């Protein structure tokens, strides 16, 4: 399968429904911005434990969507539902409606590998393979059938350039990725992810292990990548969410009367500016102003 | 400043005394463990090297004297036989054991079949080697006669559970974030196992297999029934009686003739040397293949 025909079997839903938050008005978003993910009443379970429930939101194409909220409210859990990473955890399951361009991601015909090829993921902890820098970036394209050395070289260079890493590593592509700094490793993981030309890049706290300079670099990178990819990012850093994202979803954990355990819920989802200047929910306001209990 | 600095100086206390005692005990324990090892090596080298290297390379190339009371070399046929028997056993057990371990760790999980296989492997580890030799004698040798292959079968049966156990352990140690990174790039499970999990676990797997091979190379009891007692070169794996270094050590060391006992020491030295060489080569090769760690 080549990059050109890869999106054929998932029709792009052009005429997206209006997404403004309860008539909040949405000046930044044109009415016809395509919806990439459409969630309704999504819940994720680990065995009998319901980690998040009742999530309804729409993720828009070529936007950066930030997921924020206190620790343990299920941000990672929800993020992993977007590219079926829960399939590899025994006992984990996703319920509700989770559509990707109008297709049920968890439908019986849908292959998790195909899903993950289109929806890439950058993890919280940099996790390069114990291979050379080159082989790390080339892994995804190779898995997807690119064997031609010249083609691979081109992809590797392009991806490393896009991740603002090329100049630092171009002379040592053959050396181990584990010999890089944490920030370089994380940018390598980003390069590795975009090397397969996904449509969506999911990022789980990509800067949590990085210093402010490396963080600024990755934020800049995200803004650049936005024109080519749709980005969903989990972050604990509210300034970061405010700086880079177009829309922000605030989650919190509440006691679930069903089983007496804390379950994550989506409190508010809106344009980032609105969330940080004039949130409609008191819990959001308390959290972003640091009054969270 | 001086007061602060002097506060940092260690004060003589019960804590540092205890530390010294513990360190001393640890050194003593290491010594106690190393002592027998060094003693064995020393005895073998002291008494064996002179025999093995007298009129080099006769000892390694000449046939075994038919009349054991006669002095002189050599052990050539036993070296060839050891390679045939141990090599055959390795070819039988290592691929099978690694595949079995992959099934157990990656696919089987807690399924009934996996649990049954794991249980059988554990039981097989406990079977005394002479019982395994007897089993092969009944199942194979009584039908097809003495051969190196019969010995290889017996050794393979002994090695298999060791290879399965150590390989499964090594696969389990491969961090899950590496697998997840691979899945997130759209790799299938089999691709992930071949391209990520096995290379990451390779050095450990090789160590485990080498240990199994080295142990098998020194096994005598299971070969007594299966291999026979040749004194001439027999390069065939399947036909006619063969011999091995371990069998020659056993046979010659229990002889009452000094010449035979000397040959036993020479054979012991040769076996240690071969084991060392094989281990060394295998290590170098794996280091080359997994330099990217
Ligand atoms: N593999 C798992 N098995 C069982 N429970 C899990 C698993 N992973 C997460 N959980 C639980 O699900 C809940 C949500 O976890 P999650 O990791 O999604 O939180 P988070 O919002 O990402 O938190 P953080 O900000 O600390 O990363 C927590 O109560 C956690 O204990
Ligand atoms: Mg998390």
Q: Tell me what pLDDT residue A4 has.
A: 44
Please give the Cα distance from B33 to A4 (Å, whole number).
64
Specify if A57 maps to a domain.
Answer: yes
Look up residue A3 and give its DSSP letter: T
Whether ligand 1 lies within 6 angstroms of the CB of A139 is answered as no
Q: Does the distance separating the beta carbons of B184 and A193 come in below 8 Å?
A: yes
- Kindly give the number of the ligand 1 atom that is closest to the alpha carbon of A205: 27
**Number of domains composing chain B:** 2
Inter-chain residue contact B183 with A143, CB threshold 8 Å: no
Does A1 map to a domain? no
Contact criterion met (CB below 8 Å) for A82 and A52: no
Q: Tell me: the pLDDT tens digits for A185-236?
A: 999 999 999 999 999 999 999 888 778 887 888 898 889 889 999 999 999 8
- Nearest chain B CA: its distance from A151 CA (Å): 18
* Cβ–Cβ contact A145 with B under 8 A: no
Residues B82 and B165 in one domain: yes
My answer on whether B150 and B259 are in the same domain is: yes
Q: How far is residue A58's CA from residue A20's CA, in Å, rounded to a whole number?
A: 10
Whether the CB of A74 sits within 6 Å of ligand 1:
yes
Strands A92-100 and A103-104: antiparallel
**Residue B92: HSE in the Cβ half-sphere, 13 Å Cα cutoff:** 20
CB of A91 closer than 6 angstroms to any ligand 1 atom: no
Answer yes or no: do B46 and B176 share one domain: no
Expressed as residue numbers, the domain containing B34 is 12-54
Average pLDDT, chain A: 86
User: Please, are residues A37 and A82 in contact by the beta-carbon 8 Å criterion?
Assistant: yes
Q: How many CA atoms lie within 13 A of B270 on its CB side?
A: 33
- The answer on B43 and B101 residing in a single domain is no
Chain A, nearest residue to B190 by Cα: A143
Under 8 Å between Cβ of B75 and B61 = no
Q: Is the CB of A46 under 6 A from ligand 1?
A: yes
Q: Could you tell me if B264 lies within 8 Å of chain A, comparing CB atoms?
A: no
Burial class (CB in 10 A: 0-12, 13-18, 19+), A49: middle
Do B78 and B46 lie in one domain? The reply is no
Residues of chain A contacting residue B200, judged by C-beta atoms under 8 Å apart? 129-130
- pLDDT given for residue A27 in this prediction: 45
The answer on B83 and B17 residing in a single domain is no
Q: How many CB atoms lie within 10 A of CB B279?
A: 16
**Residue-number span of the structural domain to which A109 is assigned:** 11-288
Does the pLDDT of residue A31 top 70, yes or no? no
Distance from the alpha carbon of residue B156 to the mean position of ligand 2, in angstroms: 47
Task: Tell me if B94 is assigned to some domain.
Answer: yes
- Residue B2 resides in a domain: no
| pLDDT score at A292 | 55
Residue B132 belongs to a domain with what CATH number?
Answer: 1.10.3720.10
Domain annotation covers residue A24 = yes
Residue with the two structure tokens 């439908």: A107
In a domain, B32, yes or no: yes
Q: What are the C-alpha distances in Å from B170 to residues A179, B66, B101, B203?
A: 23, 46, 9, 9
A109 occurs within a structural domain: yes
3-state secondary structure B94-132: HHHHHHHHHHHHHHHCCCHHHHHHHHHHHHHHCCCHHHH
pLDDT of A12 above 80: no
pLDDT computed for residue A5 by the predictor: 43
Asked whether residue B148 falls in the same domain as residue B255, the answer is yes
Most ligand 1 atoms within 8 A of CB, residue of A44, A55, A72 to mutate: A72
pLDDT in tens, A136-180: 999 999 998 899 999 999 999 999 998 889 999 999 999 999 999
Residue B45 lies in a domain: yes
pLDDT of residue A19: 40
In a domain, B64, yes or no: no
Q: Nearest CA to CA, how far is A108 from chain B (Å)?
A: 17
- Which of the ligands is closest to the CA of residue A73? 1
B99-146 pLDDT, tens digit per residue, is 999 999 999 878 899 999 999 999 999 999 999 999 999 999 999 999
Interface predicted TM-score (ipTM) of this complex, two decimals: 0.84
* Interface with chain B: mutation pick from A111, A117, A129, A190, highest number of B CBs within 10 Å: A129
Of A39, A37, A83, residue with least CA distance to A202: A83
The Cβ of residue A199 has, within 10 Å, a number of other Cβ atoms equal to: 20
Which residue's C-alpha comes closest to atom 29 of ligand 1? Answer: A72
Tokens of B277: 């060489």
B161 shares its domain with B44: no
Answer for the pair B73, B265: CB distance below 8 angstroms, yes or no.
no
Residue A4 lies in a domain: no
Q: Which of A89, A90, A140 to mutate to test the interface with B (most CBs of B within 10 A)?
A: A140
The structural domain count of chain A equals 1
What is the residue-wise DSSP string for B18-60? HHHHHHHHHHHHHHHHHHHHHHHHHHHHHHHHHHHHTTTTHHH
User: Residue A252: in which H helix or E strand, if any?
Assistant: strand A247-256
**Nearest ligand atom owner, CA of A92:** 1
CATH assignment at residue A185: 3.40.50.300
Q: Which of B177, B179, B293 sits opposite A125 (nearest CB)?
A: B177
Q: Which residues contact B203 (CB under 8 A, 6 or more apart)?
A: B286, B287, B290, B293
In a domain, B163, yes or no: yes
Residue A203 forms part of a structural domain: yes
Residue A149 tokens read as 């050395």
Same domain? B99 vs B141: yes
Interface of B with A in 58-117 (CB under 8 A): 109
Q: B158 and B47: one domain? A: no
Calculate what percentage of chain A has a pLDDT beyond 70: 87
Q: Per-residue pLDDT tens, chain B, 293 aa: give them.
A: 455 556 676 667 788 889 999 999 999 999 999 999 999 999 999 999 999 998 888 899 999 998 888 888 889 999 999 999 999 999 999 999 999 999 999 998 788 999 999 999 999 999 999 999 999 999 999 999 999 999 999 999 999 999 999 999 999 999 999 999 999 999 999 999 999 999 999 989 998 999 899 889 989 999 998 998 888 999 999 999 999 999 999 999 999 999 999 999 999 999 999 999 988 988 888 887 765 44
* pLDDT recorded at residue B40: 94
Q: Name all contacts of A236-243 with Cβ < 8 Å and 24+ positions apart.
A: A236/A68, A236/A71, A236/A205, A236/A208, A237/A207, A238/A68, A238/A276, A238/A288, A240/A66, A240/A207, A240/A215, A241/A66, A241/A68, A241/A272, A241/A276, A242/A272, A242/A276, A243/A219
Rounded Cα distance between A196 and B182, Å, is: 12
CA B111 to CA A98: how far, in whole Å? 31
In a domain, A293, yes or no: no
3-state secondary structure of B65: coil
Does any domain span residue B63?
Answer: no
CB A96 within 8 Å of CB A42? yes
Q: Using CA of residue A55, residue A69, residue A82, residue A62, what is the dihedral sign?
A: positive
For ligand 1, mutation pick of A42, A45, A47, A75 (most atoms within 8 Å of CB): A75
Task: Provide the shortest C-alpha distance from residue B105 to chain A (in Å).
Answer: 14
Nearest ligand 1 atom to the CA of A47 is: 4
Distance from CA of B192 to the nearest CA of A (A): 9
Place of tokens 């997921």: A67
Q: How far apart are CA A246 and CA A81, in angstroms?
A: 21
The DSSP bridge pattern shows strands A92-100 and A35-46 to be: antiparallel
Nearest-CA residue for ligand 1 atom 16 is: A74
Given a contact cutoff of 8 angstroms between Cβ atoms, the answer to whether B242 and B147 are in contact is yes
Chain B positions touching A120 (Cβ under 8 A) are: 184-185
Let me know whether B288 and B162 are in one domain. Answer: yes
Q: Based on the domain organization, do B80 and B196 belong to the same domain?
A: yes
């Amino acid at each position: 399968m080549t990059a050109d025909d890869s999106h054929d079997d998932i029709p792009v839903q052009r005429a997206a429904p209006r997404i403004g938050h309860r008539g909040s008005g949405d000046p930044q978003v044109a009415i016809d911005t395509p919806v990439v993910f459409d969630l309704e009443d999504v819940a994720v379970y680990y065995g009998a434990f319901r980690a998040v429930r009742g999530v309804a939101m729409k993720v828009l194409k070529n936007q950066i969507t930030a997921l924020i909220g206190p620790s343990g409210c299920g941000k990672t859990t929800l993020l992993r539902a977007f590219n079926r990473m829960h399939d590899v955890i025994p006992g984990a399951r996703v319920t509700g409606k989770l559509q990707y361009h109008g297709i049920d991601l968890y439908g019986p015909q849908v292959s998790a590998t195909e899903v993950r090829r289109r929806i890439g993921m950058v993890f919280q902890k940099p996790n390069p393979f114990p291979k050379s820098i080159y082989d790390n970036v080339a892994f995804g394209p190779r898995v997807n059938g690119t064997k031609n050395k010249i083609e691979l070289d081109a992809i590797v260079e392009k991806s490393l350039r896009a991740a603002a890493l090329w100049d630092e590593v171009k002379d040592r592509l053959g050396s181990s990725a584990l010999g890089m700094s944490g920030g370089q490793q994380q940018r390598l993981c980003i390069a590795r992810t975009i090397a397969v030309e996904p449509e969506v890049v999911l990022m789980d706290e990509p800067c949590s292990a990085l210093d402010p300079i490396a963080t600024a670099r990755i934020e800049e990178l995200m803004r650049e990548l936005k024109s080519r990819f749709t980005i969903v990012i989990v972050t604990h850093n509210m300034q970061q969410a405010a700086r880079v994202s177009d829309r922000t979803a605030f989650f919190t954990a509440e006691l679930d009367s069903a089983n007496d355990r804390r379950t994550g819920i989506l409190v508010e989802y809106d344009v980032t500016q609105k969330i940080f200047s004039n949130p409609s929910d008191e819990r959001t306001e308390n959290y972003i102003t640091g009054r969270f209990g | 400043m001086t007061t602060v600095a002097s506060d940092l100086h260690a004060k003589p206390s019960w804590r540092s005394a205890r530390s010294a005692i513990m360190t001393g005990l640890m050194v003593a324990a290491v010594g106690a463990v190393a002592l027998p090892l060094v003693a064995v090596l020393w005895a073998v080298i002291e008494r064996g090297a002179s025999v093995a290297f007298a009129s080099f390379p006769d000892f390694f190339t000449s046939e075994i004297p038919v009349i054991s009371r006669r002095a002189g070399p050599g052990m050539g046929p036993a070296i060839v036989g050891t390679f045939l028997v141990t090599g055959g056993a390795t070819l039988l057990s290592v691929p099978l054991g690694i595949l079995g371990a992959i099934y157990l760790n990656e696919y089987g999980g807690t399924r009934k079949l996996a649990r049954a296989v794991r249980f059988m492997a554990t039981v097989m580890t406990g079977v005394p080697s002479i019982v395994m030799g007897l089993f092969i004698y009944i199942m194979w040798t009584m039908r097809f006669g003495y051969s190196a292959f019969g010995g290889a079968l017996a050794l393979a049966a002994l090695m298999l559970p060791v290879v399965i156990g150590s390989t499964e352990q090594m696969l389990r140690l491969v961090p899950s974030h590496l697998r997840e990174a691979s899945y997130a790039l759209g790799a299938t499970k089999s691709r992930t196992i071949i391209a990520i999990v096995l290379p990451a676990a390779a050095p450990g797997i090789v160590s485990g297999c080498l240990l199994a091979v080295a142990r098998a190379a020194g096994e005598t009891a299971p070969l007594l029934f299966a291999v026979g007692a040749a004194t001439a070169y027999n390069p065939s794996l399947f036909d006619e009686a063969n011999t091995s270094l371990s069998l020659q050590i056993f046979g010659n060391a229990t002889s009452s003739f000094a010449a035979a006992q000397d040959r036993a020491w020479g054979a012991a030295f040769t076996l240690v040397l071969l084991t060392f060489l094989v281990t060394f080569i295998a290590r170098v090769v794996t280091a080359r293949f997994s330099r990217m760690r």
